[in-house]
Amino acid sequence: MATVAQPQDQENPLVEGLERLPVHPTTLVIFGATGDLAKRKLLPAIYNLAHEGALPERFNLVGVSRGEQTDDEFQQFARDSIEQFSRRPADDQVLSSLVERMRYVAGSFDEDGMYGRLGSVLDELDEEADIAFNRLFYLSTSPSFFPVIAKKLGDRGLHKRDGAQVRMIVEKPFGTDLQSALELNRELLSVFDERQIFRIDHYLGKETVQNLLVLRFANMIFEPLWNRSYVQSVQITAAEDIGIGSRAGYYDQSGALRDLIQNHMLQLLMLLAMEPPVSFDADPVRDEKVKILRSIAPPTPDEVPGIAVRAQYGAGMSGGEPAPGYLEEEGVPAESTTETYAAVKLKIDNWRWAGVPFYLRTGKRLARKTTEIAVRLKPVPHLAFKQKGSLGVEPNMLILMVQPNEGVSLSLVAKIPGARMAVRPVNMEFLYGTSFLSQSPEAYERLILDTMRGEATLFARNDEVEAAWAICDPILQAWSTMPGPLPQYAAGSSGPKEADDLLEGGDRWRQL
């Protein structure tokens, strides 16, 4: 079997952040291979791994979807997707070598015969190469099919094999509440072992998120400050400047709390607050993350109004253009009480963080798109610099920018040049693009490669998912009993004024 061709100018073993480490020959099976996620993210990620020489030397890709297609038609679909959405221009030699080994299996995900045809294709690929390929099943489908696909794979005996590894990637959402998450875990674990299941959260593949661990545990300067004695509060923001687009059917059943806070944002909180693991292997890291969630007491119904706020965007101006309100979007019921903005205040009841508020907020149609973590230190006990001309002196703040511009910024107070002892805030910062002079790999590239290696550090474990739902589920249940309409905020604004009620001790939301 031919190997993936590499660009002629690539000689450095480190190419844009992805190491060329040996990976066992692998066959990747994408369920939902003609869907939007595969088209925009997965296929381009696979191409970029091939371009960088990070794929295993022997690699196959099998697409599974309901529509009837030939192998040639699927290969053309993959080529078009990669040429349109790859982060770099497609190299024809690499692209041709990659797509020529793609196969396609048509059928419904609940159809027994389809799994028979899939098994035959997988066996053929093994026989052609005379290799027992590792098999990686990627569930890029509606969540309702996750347990169906797992059971069918088990019934057909495709969930394990001698001489090679079988793994499964599960996309979010992983359940819609605590009960459904528990049931989904039960169904998946009845077929696959926990070590075979990789619950993917693409936020954990972002360079700044991974760098948070390095920032904390490889720089002694931060450790003495990283506790309740010096940190006043933490804000984690995931703001979007767009509306729901054509996703009304999904979004109105989900809402901001389920869509981002329960998974992405709690992941950021765990990495920020966790204790140093005994090693950076998967289970020690995830053990420490779970301890953080278990240190957050699930709120009672009476506590929910004091720690959680929800709202919907109304009409306004977004990006200089008029924007409709959420209830005016196509496909949204006129009486919907689904939140497009959610903010929560959480307290971690452990020795390090007792009393420190962690504020999490997310929303659609806000002033700008940004994801960041802001660690606000306590103010100095006495500020002598109050001379005329001093500008906006604030406590020091460490900002970790996750997107769109990945980097880290630390605000300091410095003297303004001149005869007066006047001061103002200044920033020390680094950005990945300027500091490393290379383009960061896409999150899916890192995460797919990790699954091929069996490296689970950046993936959620079953107890981690359940602990996250244990925090969010009481909020959702309380909201379901509260009548509408919801508070409104203008499209293009920084969110509802009601969110200010969560803040304490002189805290303010960072300006969007």
Residues 314, 405: Cα–Cα separation, whole Å: 28
Residues catalogued as catalytic: 264
Buried b (16+ CB within 10 A) or exposed e, 249-270: eebbebbbbbbbbbbbbbbbbb
| Cβ-based neighbours of 219, under 8 Å, separated by 6 or more | none
| Cβ-based neighbours of 7, under 8 Å, separated by 6 or more | 51, 91, 93, 94
Residues 121, 123: Cα–Cα separation, whole Å: 5
Secondary structure (DSSP) of 370-393:
EEEEEEEEPPPS------TT----
Backbone dihedral angles phi then psi of residue 89, each to the nearest 5 degrees = -55, 140
With tokens 């000689």, the residue in question is 11
> Omega before 404 cis (within 30°)?
yes
Count of helices and strands (H, E) across the chain: 16, 19
> Omega before 7 cis (within 30°)?
no
Assess contact for 295 and 350: CB atoms under 8 A: yes
- Both tokens of 288, joined, read 């420490």
With tokens 């196959």, the residue in question is 60
* Residue 181: closest CA among 462, 478, 420, 512: 462
